[in-house]
A and B are shown apart, each in its own frame.
Chain A
Amino acid sequence: MRKIQSSFAGKAVLTLVLIGALGLSVKWAMAADANPPGPEVKIDNFSFTPQQITVKAGTTITWTNRDDIPHTVTSTDLVFKSKALDTDDKFTTTFTKPGTYSYFCSIHPKMTGRVIVE
């Protein structure tokens, strides 16, 4: 019957649209994992790269340890402090207030970096 057919077709279309939307949202979530929302600082060879980074207030920065030895990200003014990051571990923090934030690795204090927030 026509009524049933059209409602069935309507349901089918609705289901297709929902699946499409789900697929898109999954893709978006995966993209967010692969590319963090803000800038990245790589930790490797006992260095922070880039050693100095300038960002706008409200930015979230992600540090990733690519070295084969653990490091930390420790603010000299104790504004932020990561746990010991082993290889591939990440640390993120959001900078809300403008200013200059010096930091270092508390395990290897010769490793230093700076975040400038505008």
Chain B
Amino acid sequence: MTKPIKDGILYDHNHDGIDRRGFLKCMAWAGTGTLCVIQGGVLQSFALNDPAAKRAKGQLTFVQISDSHMGFNKPANPDVIATLKAAVDKINALSIPPEFLLHTGDISHLSKPAEFDNVDQILKTASAKKVFFVPGEHDVLEDEGAQYRERYGKNTKGAGWYSFDKSGVHFIGLVNVMNLKAGGLGSLGHEQLEWLEADVKHLSHSTPIIVFAHIPLWTIYPDWGWGTDDSVQALSYLKKFGSVTVLNGHIHQIMQKVEGNITFHTACSTAFPQPKPGEAPSPGPMKVPAEQLRTMLGLTRVDFVRGKHALAVTDSTLV
């Protein structure tokens, strides 16, 4: 079913002589829609449309989309409706329909009701009817997130955090865009950290964990606010688990890091790209030639096969 790649990738992210899983090379394949599976420390790959990649029993497939910024209309992308629709078309064309979608925030651009309504209407046309959300900083303007929680936060706690289980995988949605302090990064806060510690306390260490939040839970580039002040404490509660995957948005580009049992991954935006760290004066919308725009927007598919302890994370662009 899977063909091992010839040159057994092991990539040393931290230059410390410890073998890391070869996600970096996987990233280079991302645009071609390749499925990369980590199993027993070895990277395996097969094409996204490989008929052998049928849904195996006990398999869970979902798609992460992020940063739709509905309402944005500047030159970097004058039509974010069209690009979100293109992302949904891509979802609907997947050979394995996803069971649900995860939206990692910045659903709207200015927290306007019409913006949220537009996203809801477009997502209704996706093959996966269930969508789980976490808010981005653009979703909680003016009202401390009251509108966001009214729409998407039923059965959540505090500012909108929650957890749920699917096919034996434990999902945790965190909110790190509230009560941001001057000069700071993203923030989870004491109440949410206490909730998280209690939420995972009694789970067996073999339970696969997926955490999703808007701002990255590892420090990518502090000057641009790309990190979370108190994420280290949150991740300390997850040390005991054999497999933890962290899915984030906010930075509008794909970045990955593997650290011990934790794989961190950020998704593309469906609205506009942003520059790589330090490659521009600021992290704002990045204008690219029109024909290139959709090659820099995209979505992420995640596959889990029960009993394999392997979570496959695949990115594809809109083109």
Contacts and interface: CB of A to CB of B under 8 A. Distances in A.
Interface residues of B, number: 25
Interface residues of A, number: 22
A84 B141 contact: yes
Nearest to A110: B225
A70 B282 contact: no
Contact of B142 (A83, A109, A110): A83
B284 A67 contact: yes
Given A84-B111, A84-B141, A107-B138, A68 B284 contact: yes
A46 interface: yes
B180 A109 contact: yes
Contacts of B142: 83-84
Contacts of A45: 281-282, 284
Nearest to A47: B282
Contacts of B283: 46
Interface in A84-118: 84, 86-87, 102-104, 106-110, 112
Interface in B70-110: 74-76, 109-110
A68 B141 contact: no
Given A70-B138, A84-B111, A87-B74, A112 B183 contact: yes
Contacts of B33: none
User: Which label, helix, strand, loop or mixed, suits the secondary structure of the A interface?
Assistant: loop
A47 B284 CA distance: 11
Contacts of B224: 46, 110
A76 interface: yes
A69 interface: yes
Nearest to A104: B182
A109 B183 contact: yes
B225 A86 contact: no
Contacts of B225: 108-110
B13 to A, nearest CB: 25
A106 B177 CA distance: 10
B51 interface: no
Interface in B96-128: 109-111
A33 B109 CA distance: 29
Nearest to A67: B284
B141 A107 contact: yes
B223 interface: yes
B284 A69 contact: yes
B285 interface: yes
* Most chain A Cβ neighbours within 10 Å, of B110, B184, B222, B225: B225
Interface string B243-260: 000000000000000000
Contacts of A107: 137-138, 141, 180
B181 interface: yes
B182 A76 contact: yes
A86 to B, nearest CB: 6
Given A84-B141, A107-B138, A107-B141, A68 B183 contact: no
Nearest to B136: A107
B110 A70 contact: yes
5 contacts: A70-B138, A72-B141, A87-B74, A109-B180, A110-B184
